[in-house]
Structure 1
Amino acid sequence: MKSLKVSLLAIAATVLFSVGANAQEKKPTTTKPAITTTPAPQKPTSPVTWKEISYDFGEIKKGTPVSHDFSFTNTTKQTVIITNVKASCGCTATNYTKTPVKPGETATVTATYNAATAGNFSKTVTVSLNENEVPKVLTIKGKVIDTTPVNQ
C-alpha cells in the first residue's frame, strides 16, 4: 500500500512537472498593439516675416552706444500689433512701431546696446505680436573694445 501511494505520488509529480514544462515552452501568443499615430504638432506660423533675427555689430568702441533696426513685414490678411517688447537686460534699450501693422506693411523693432563694458556681448529682445502668437526672440551681439590709452 505504501509503495502504491509513493508510485501515485511520483506519477502525479511527473504529470505536474510535464504540464509546467510545456506551459513554459509555449511562447505566449502576442498580438501587435494597434498602431495609433498622433499628427505632429503643427509649427505655429508667424503672421510676419522678419528680415533678420540676429545682428552682429562686430567690434565697437566702449562708451559708444550702437543700434540696429530689425524689420518685419505683415504677411497675413489681418492687422498685426506689437503688444510687448522686452530686452534681456538694462544695458539694452528698445523702441518699436506702436501703430497697428496692416497686411503688406513693414514695422521695426530697434535694439540699442549701451556698450559700457568691454568684452563680448550677446543680448536678446523678445517681441510679442497679437494676443496668441508665440513671441519672437531677436539677438544682438558683438565685442566692445576699450580704446582708452593706458598711462605708462
Structure 2
Amino acid sequence: MKWIFLIFAGLMVMVSCNNGTNQEQKAAEIPLEQQGKQPVGQTIIPGADSTGAVLEVKNDSYDFGEVKEGEKVEHEFTFTNTGNEPLIISKVHASCGCTTPEYSKNPIAPGEVGKVKVVFNSDGQMGKQHKVITVTSNAISPNTLLHLRGEVKK
C-alpha cells in the first residue's frame, strides 16, 4: 500500500510540474508582434476601441421623493448608443411586478437616443422603495441597471 501511495504521489508531482511548460509553449506560439500589445494593468473600456453597440445612460437612478400610497410614479430614462453598431434592446425587466417598463423596440443607430419609460404603482408598497430595472441588449456590456427610489407614505 505504501508503494502505491508513493508511486501515485510521484506521478502527481511530475504532472503538476509539467503545466508551466505548456503555458510557455503557448506564449511562444503567439507571434512577437502580437505579444505585449496591451500593457499590464491596462483596463479595457467598452466602446473605446471596440466594435459594437454601447448603451450609455446619462442618469441611471431616479429618486421620486415621497408619494402617497396608491399614487403612480412615472419616469423616463434616456440613453445614447455611443457605439458604432445599432443597439437592440431585447428585454427590460423590473425587480417587482409593481413596476412596469416600456422601451424602444426599434434598433437605435449609433449616436441616436432611446428611452425606457417606467411606471411605479405604489398601491400596497409602504415605506422606502428601491426598484431595479434591468435592460438587456446587444451592447458590449449586455445588462444595464436602472434604479428607481423613493418613499411611499400613508
Could you say which TM-score interval applies, normalised by the shorter chain? 0.5 to 0.7
Output the CA distance in 2 between the equivalents of 1:118 and 1:48: 33
- Maintained 8 Å contact 1:83/1:131: no
Match of 1:125 in 2: 133
Q: Give matches, 1:70-81, under 5 Å.
A: 70-81=77-88
Distance 1:103 1:40 in 2: 26
Structure 1 ranges of 4+ moved more than 6 A: none
Identity within the alignment, %: 38
CA contact (8 A) 2:46 2:54 kept: no
Structure 1 unaligned residues grouped into runs of 5+: 1-36, 147-152
TM-score (norm 2): 0.65
Residue aligning to 1:11: none
Coordinate RMSD, CA, aligned: 1.9
1:44 aligns with 2:46: yes
Q: TM-score, normalised by structure 1?
A: 0.65
Any idea what SS the aligned residue of 2:130 has?
strand
Give the whole-Å Cα distance in 2 for the aligned partners of 1:92 and 1:119: 16
Q: In structure 2, list runs of 5 or more residues that go unmatched.
A: 1-38, 48-52
Aligned partner (choices 101, 104, 110) of residue 111 of structure 2? 104
Q: Counterpart of 2:144?
A: 136
Where does residue 84 of structure 1 map in the other structure? 91
CA contact (8 A) 2:87 2:139 kept: no
**Structure of greater Rg:** 1
Aligned length: 110
